[in-house]
């Protein structure tokens, strides 16, 4: 490909700012590899394996210290076994309508990174999926940052929630209930400024072998709660009991509820607190 092809590609297709898609990846570095993994991700992979790629326009890393891991529920989770697995969470926004274009690039670049010895092997993907945006619910309406600002705004915390419905039709009912009733009620007066809702998409057949195929493509919803305060300060009043509310609605079950705080880019802050 010559450089002229880039100009041609830039002249066609969507190029809006809406986060039409996301990459959400929860990873556990193997014991004894915490510092090396963090340095690889901070110094190389966050950029070469994500931010330098076409149509990713925002990204942020989050971390769960041991104290935060112990706040997770349910104990028996279909997402993480044990439920405390997955120290580092990375979230990226992709331009709406560019998922297929991005996937062709990301498969190619990750094969190259693997060939060049730039993939850290001593890690396990706990929950890694590209996801399509379904909804964003705001606490303050038109005031405050929009969802396309969420990964750049200095939020103090993030909560990752995964809900499993009984089937595709029930997922549509679940989404409608979340948008119109559950999330507006839960957000009112809370430290959560917004919740973005996504549904997972299957990974391509030529994905990297160390990333397992996505489960629950037709039944799951992934929620990201963006918090203005440290989750340790608001976990009990704001997030305890969400699984019961979903179950009582008869629309699904919470399979994962986990708090995180942002990493400090370029540092090893919090690495010593993972175990």
The structural domains of the chain, with segments of one domain joined by +, span 16-262
Q: What is residue 226's predicted lDDT score, i.e. its pLDDT?
A: 98
Give me the helices (H) in the chain, please.
4-10, 34-40, 46, 66-69, 99-115, 168-177, 183-187, 231-239, 242-249
Q: What is residue 9's predicted lDDT score, i.e. its pLDDT?
A: 84
Q: Which residues contact 49 (CB under 8 A, 6 or more apart)?
A: 109, 110, 113
Q: What is residue 96's predicted lDDT score, i.e. its pLDDT?
A: 96
Per run of 10 residues, the mean pLDDT along the chain (length 275 residues) is 81 93 98 98 96 96 98 96 98 96 91 94 95 97 93 98 95 97 96 97 68 81 98 94 94 97 97 98
CATH code assigned to 16-262:
3.30.70.100
């Amino acid at each position: 490909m010559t450089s002229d092809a880039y100009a041609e590609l830039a002249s066609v297709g969507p190029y809006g700012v809406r986060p039409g898609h996301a990459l959400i990846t929860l990873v556990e570095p193997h014991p004894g590899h915490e510092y090396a993994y963090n340095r690889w991700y901070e110094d190389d992979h966050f950029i070469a394996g994500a931010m330098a790629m076409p149509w990713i326009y925002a990204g942020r890393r989050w971390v769960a210290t041991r104290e935060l891991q112990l706040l997770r529920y349910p104990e028996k989770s279909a997402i993480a076994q044990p439920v405390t697995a997955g120290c580092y969470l990375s979230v990226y926004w992709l331009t709406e309508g560019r998922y297929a274009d991005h996937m062709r690039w990301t498969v190619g670049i990750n094969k190259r990174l693997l060939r060049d010895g730039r993939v850290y092997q001593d890690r396990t993907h706990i929950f890694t999926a590209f996801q399509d945006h379904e909804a964003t619910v705001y606490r303050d309406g038109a005031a405050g940052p929009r969802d396309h600002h969420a990964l750049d705004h200095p939020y103090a915390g993030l909560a990752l929630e995964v809900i499993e419905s009984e089937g595709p039709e029930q997922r549509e009912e679940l989404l409608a209930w979340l948008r119109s009733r559950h999330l507006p009620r839960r957000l009112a007066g809370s430290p959560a400024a917004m919740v973005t809702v996504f549904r997972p998409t299957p990974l391509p057949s030529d994905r990297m072998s160390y990333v397992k195929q996505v489960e629950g493509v037709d039944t799951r919803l992934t929620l990201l709660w963006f918090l203005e305060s440290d989750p340790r300060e608001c976990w009990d009043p704001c997030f305890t009991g969400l699984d019961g509310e979903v179950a009582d609605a008869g629309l699904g079950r919470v399979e994962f509820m986990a708090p995180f705080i942002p990493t400090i880019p370029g540092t090893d802050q919090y690495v010593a607190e993972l175990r």
